[in-house]
Structure 1
Amino acid sequence: MIPITLACGRYDRTDALRTGAVRPEGVDLTYLALPPEEVFYRMLRHREFDVAELSLSSYVMNTAELVAIPVFPSRTFRHNAIYVGAASGITSPADLKGRVVGIPEYQMTAAVFIRGILAEHHDVPVDSVRYRTGGLHEPGRPEKIPLPSGVTADITPIGPAQTLARMLLDGEIDALYSARMPLPYADGDHRVRRLFADPRQVEEDYFRATGVFPIMHAVVIRRELHEQHRWLARSLYKAFEQARSSAMSTLGETNALRYSLPWLYEEVERTRRIMGEDYWPYGVDANDTVLRTFLRYSFEQGLSERQLEPRQLFASETLDGFRV
């Protein structure tokens, strides 16, 4: 048994790993349940963990030092993550052209997807927008990773005492792309609204048209650890898959609601009608379309030096398996 520290958010699909109900083969696992932003910062800046949940975009920019397994603990549609100032006059995606948009970090996965979707499906070229980067609610947030020279967009950090949420309220930026819901919107401040009035419908239509359920995060191993223990990638992959399958199999139970949502059963049924029974798969082949879409966006936006193939991202031990 080797001791491994895993830093990951607390999700239903990973909870069996956290509680010890699922144990990776050959591993004495310590699960640190931490917010994603903290995990990303500590892993990228200090390599504090053996294994960690990590932004897909950040990983693609750091494949020399890390190796991923095709486990995706966070996936989210992102049309709902575009906010506009009510006084900005922005009523459609086309109105974003020429505007100033706040974004916590240019390279973050949510932003890559939003820019790609707006460019590909709404005719809003990436370089048609001016970007301001910084903390959403706390000042002083820098890019975790230096941006490569291939990035050509107009990007300026906000001031050391400024926050994007406050700037949106004050009209200093016209819109905001944010994975986290800004507090003014959550509090019902009418000066902030979503770009899409019915984002759920837009997201469902997007999935029907593309088959893409955006992946936000993967799971990475420090490369030197993977090279020392080549069996570890497969062991972790199997354990994550077992934990995911366990959570998904009980999600739609109706005898006693698993979560505090009165119509959870209807939500599960609706999701499966639109997206299929296995709508949150792990593995490379089952996610080929979404991974190719992201990698194309990353390359087009100058974050990747070359167009990568999905299989290049993941430990070779996880790409296929034995058969009896």
Structure 2
Amino acid sequence: MSKLNLTFACWDYDRIRPLSDGTIQPKGINLNWLNMPVEETFWRMMRHQEFDVSELSLSSYLIAKDRGTHNFTAIPVFVSRFFRHSGIYINANSGIEKPEDLRGKRVGIPEYQLTACLWIRGILKSEYGVDSSEMNWYTGGEEAPGRVEKVAIKLPEEIRIRPIGAKQTLNEMIESGEIDALIAPRAPSCFLNGSPNVRRLFPDYVSVEKEYYKKTGIFPIMHVVVIKDEILERHPWVAYNLYKSFTEAKNLVYEGLAQTAASKTTLPWLVSEVEKTKELMGNDFWPYGIEKNRKTIDTAVRYSLEQGMIHKQLEIEDLFINSTFEEYTL
């Protein structure tokens, strides 16, 4: 019996490489891996649903499920996670020294619906008491003009948001002081190039993020993996077979990180970092599956609802394929 051919759009993460290079092969499936930047993948999947299986922004996925306008469903595989306190950049002359100083300021954002921005806004409110309605939002391209939301969103009236000029970029505006702050998953090029005008709100962000994890137990989820519903209807076994294979691929990465005879990663003190991470977060510090991620998923849904991105309560059972609720272990 021939295998099912599926296109799979995803960036080149170490945790999917055993799938992309064929070391692990999902039972009954040939994956045609398409390596693309995440922004392109998300745009094409949300706008045109081009791929059979795809990495997708968690925030955009919640919007799609809230509206019922997109025909795909997720498996609990989280190929991207990121603590996002590091993603708040400020102009050095803005007078911003602490999160509370963001009130009343001009804050740039590439897209309001970005998952990184969803988490940052939620953290600003829950941890520092700064509400989204207390800032003036400016949306647009970070490095090139013309960026717009992947899908149109309707926000609460109290959210003051406007697009930047057709020829402007957020990178130029944060450096010049036309905006006071920038919230984004990608560091602006002016910061990367050492501009004295731009710095992080949290210079020692690692310590801040570790304290956040100790307090909440949350390792923010950025991206899920979705499968077209038409495939699931014809081949329901695909969901679990992919979930199993993604889990096996991630476990191979864990095995590589545990090696001490030689380092697979170009990082001098990798072993020390892995040991510190396990001490804080446990051996399975990048968990897949439902139960280990229930609080994190519920928090993301709550933030999306509070921020007006979605308009009804979404339960975990509404978001993930039923067959993947049983945990897979080797």
Q: Same fold (TM over 0.5)?
A: yes
Q: Which amino acid aligns with 2:142?
A: L
Secondary structure of 1:14's match?
A: helix
Deviations 1:226-254 (A, max 9, x none): 22211111111111011011111211322
Asked if residue 196 in structure 1 is aligned to residue 182 in structure 2, the reply is no
Give, in angstroms, the shift of residue 152 of structure 1: 4.2
- In the other structure, the counterpart of 1:282 is 288
- In the other structure, the counterpart of 1:25 is 27
Q: Which amino acid aligns with 1:31?
A: W
- In the other structure, the counterpart of 1:118 is 124
Which of structure 1's runs of 4+ aligned residues deviate more than 4 A?
Answer: 149-152
Q: Do 1:130 and 1:154's aligned partners in 2 also have CA atoms closer than 8 Å? A: yes
Cα distance in structure 2, aligned partners of 1:172 and 1:189: 15
Q: Do 2:145 and 2:168's aligned partners in 1 also have CA atoms closer than 8 Å? A: yes
Moved more, 112-121 or 249-258: 249-258
Q: Do 1:85 and 1:169's aligned partners in 2 also have CA atoms closer than 8 Å? A: yes
Q: Do 1:77 and 1:213's aligned partners in 2 also have CA atoms closer than 8 Å? A: yes
- In the other structure, the counterpart of 1:253 is 259
Cα distance in structure 1, aligned partners of 2:137 and 2:230: 36
Q: Do 2:244 and 2:328's aligned partners in 1 also have CA atoms closer than 8 Å? A: no
Deviations 1:66-116 (A, max 9, x none): 100000000000000000000101000000001110000001100000000
Cα distance in structure 2, aligned partners of 1:110 and 1:98: 21
Deviations 1:28-72 (A, max 9, x none): 110111111110011111111111000000011112321000000
Asked if residue 154 in structure 1 is aligned to residue 160 in structure 2, the reply is yes
- In the other structure, the counterpart of 1:12 is 14
With normalisation by structure 2, the TM-score equals 0.95
Cα distance in structure 1, aligned partners of 2:248 and 2:158: 42
- In the other structure, the counterpart of 1:49 is 51
Asked if residue 141 in structure 1 is aligned to residue 162 in structure 2, the reply is no
Q: Do 2:26 and 2:241's aligned partners in 1 also have CA atoms closer than 8 Å? A: yes
Give, in angstroms, the shift of residue 148 of structure 1: 3.1
Q: Which amino acid aligns with 1:272?
A: K
Match of 1:207 among 213, 220, 223: 213
Residues 1-324 of structure 1 aligned to structure 2 (within 5 Å): 1-63=3-65, 64=68, 65-148=71-154, 150=156, 152-320=158-326
Cα distance in structure 2, aligned partners of 1:78 and 1:2: 38
Q: Which amino acid aligns with 2:238?
A: L
Cα distance in structure 1, aligned partners of 2:196 and 2:46: 37
Secondary structure of 2:64's match?
A: coil
Q: Which amino acid aligns with 2:312?
A: R
Give, in angstroms, the shift of residue 317 of structure 1: 1.3
CA pair 321-196 structure 1, distance change in 2 beyond 3 A: closer
Unaligned segments of structure 2, at least 5 residues = none
Unaligned segments of structure 1, at least 5 residues = none
Q: Do 1:151 and 1:303's aligned partners in 2 also have CA atoms closer than 8 Å? A: no
- Report the count of equivalent residues: 323
Secondary structure of 1:44's match?
A: helix
Q: Which amino acid aligns with 1:246?
A: L
Deviations 1:107-162 (A, max 9, x none): 11000000000001011011101111111101110000110355741111111111
Q: Do 2:26 and 2:242's aligned partners in 1 also have CA atoms closer than 8 Å? A: yes
Cα distance in structure 1, aligned partners of 2:83 and 2:260: 26
Cα distance in structure 1, aligned partners of 2:246 and 2:22: 12
Q: Which amino acid aligns with 1:147?
A: I
Q: Do 1:54 and 1:220's aligned partners in 2 also have CA atoms closer than 8 Å? A: yes
Q: Which amino acid aligns with 2:12?
A: R
